[in-house]
Amino acid sequence: MSPGPVVSLLSPALGFHCPACPCRSLGSSSEPPDMKWLWVVAFVAPACTVPYNGTGDRDNGDRARCAPQHSPLGTEVLLQCPGGLAEWRWGGTVLGTSPAPGLALPNASLAHEGNYSCHHPGTGETWATICLRLGYPPSPPAIECWATSYPQAVNCSWALTPDPLLDTDFVATYRHGTDTGECERTGPRSCSFGDLQVFSLTPYVVNVTAVNPLGIASGILPFLLENIIKPDPPEDLRVSPIPGETTKLLLEWSPPASWPFPEYFPLKYHLRYTRDNDSVPTTIGPFEPTSHILTDVEPGTLHHIQVAAKEVADFGESSAWSPPASGTPWEGP
């Protein structure tokens, strides 16, 4: 059908709940929108159809099915109708009539989302129904990767700014020289891959492509494997008094469970501690053992300790600090 002039029904404060169509909707008003006429010329790509279970409209076979339409926020949106002069409804509320090819929504906002239908103005016969969803095409994903389980795996995650507000699919892959592979999805916006080559001077390159109904965008992140080493925080930190020692504390901890081979790829540790009611921490280290005797502590005072890990040869970054553990030196029998 060739596009032509279209009558626009302006609706500055749209909002209703559309249970009959799988579209997002905002607001709860059932009042019909204010209407104003505007002549425009527009082109809209055809959309696939999904079953529509509307109420209050006559079923007209395939023509009474809900066609999902995705359009950019803040633009003029054209909803097409296959008939001539048509009555338009929005969630069952009559908006008015307009000639072909359809209804225009200038400066569309999230309040315009929902279920629209066009009908024969005399008989009410349903000519078309449209589920309108609004959002943005995806931006290039901002990717972050860390080798928290070095040398077994690389874990990557990504973010989109702004949020597209529409269902968005992702394809994540990696390349190392001539070798390529899939970054296996571990969450909606994360993935992981293994079979790593340590100490390689050839960078790995992770590529994430985002796809939604409004567009496609890709982001890449190149890195050398040893530069992205970042262990998880050490675990099971324990603070114990030492019998007979009023100014010492025994600190013990375990390497992170996600660090697979501490005997072959050892870690070094930093400690930081504060006294009760003291906001300025003291940091000491590094230490390679997983225990340490803290000396010259204040007798009878509660101390709060945390520990962080880093690869022993200083590759990559330190872990985040562990959750704090607390203890008081021995105070006698």
Q: Structural domain of residue 275, as residue ranges?
A: 235-327
Measured CA to CA, the distance from residue 253 to residue 235 in angstroms comes to 6
Do 177 and 242 have their domain in common?
no
Query: Residue 303 burial by CB count (10 A; 0-12/13-18/19+): exposed, middle or buried?
Result: buried
Burial grade of 194 (CB within 10 A; 0-12, 13-18, 19 or more): exposed
Q: What per-residue confidence (pLDDT) applies to 225?
A: 98
pLDDT confidence of residue 287: 95
- Same domain? For 262 and 313 the reply is yes
Domain boundary among 103, 135, 167: 135
Instruction: Read off the pLDDT of residues 257-312 as tens digits, 9 standing for 90 and up.
Output: 999 999 999 999 999 999 987 779 999 999 999 999 999 899 999 999 999 999 99
Q: What is the pLDDT of residue 41?
A: 30
Decide: 210 and 138 in contact? Cβ < 8 Å. yes
In angstroms, what CA-CA distances link 67 with 79, 166, 220, 235? 10, 16, 35, 53
Task: Considering only residues 29 and 239, tell me which one the structure prediction assigns the higher pLDDT.
Answer: 239
**Looking at the structure, do residues 104 and 121 belong to the same domain, yes or no?**
yes
Apex 32 CA angle, 30 and 37, nearest 5: 155
Q: pLDDT grade, residue 14 (50/70/90)?
A: very low
Whether residue 252 sits in one domain with residue 315 = yes
170 and 277, same domain (yes or no): no
Q: Which pLDDT score, from 0 to 100, does residue 65 have?
A: 75
Q: What average pLDDT does the structure give for the chain?
A: 84
Q: Does 130 reside within a domain?
A: yes
Are 108 and 152 in a shared domain?
no
More confident residue, 219 or 60: 219
Angstrom distance (rounded) from CA 184 to CA 198: 20
Count of structural domains within the chain: 3
Percentage of residues in the chain having pLDDT higher than 70: 81
Q: Which of residues 12 and 316 earns the better pLDDT score?
A: 316
130 and 9 housed in the same domain = yes
Is residue 332 assigned to a domain?
no
Whether residues 87 and 179 fall in one domain: no
Give first-to-last CA distance, the chain, whole Å: 94
Among 187, 210, 228, residue at a domain's last position: 228
Mean pLDDT, residues 175-180 taken together:
97
Q: What is the pLDDT of residue 24?
A: 37
Give the residue, 91 or 290, on which the prediction is more confident: 290
Same-domain check for residues 50 and 128 = yes
Verdict on whether the full-model pTM lies above 0.85: no
Question: Does residue 130 share a domain with residue 14?
Answer: yes
Same domain, 72 and 35: yes
Whether 146 is in a domain gets the answer yes
Decide if pLDDT at 97 tops 80.
Answer: yes
Please give the C-alpha separations between residue 170 and each of 72, 79, 147, 204, 207, in angstroms, as whole numbers.
20, 29, 21, 19, 10
Of the residues 204, 228, 252, the one at which a domain ends: 228
Q: Assign 332 a pLDDT band (cuts: 50, 70, 90).
A: confident
Same domain for 30 and 119, yes or no, is yes
Domain presence at residue 9: yes
Residue 333 lies in a domain: no
Over residues 17-25, mean pLDDT: 34
Task: Look up the CATH number of the domain holding residue 221.
Answer: 2.60.40.10
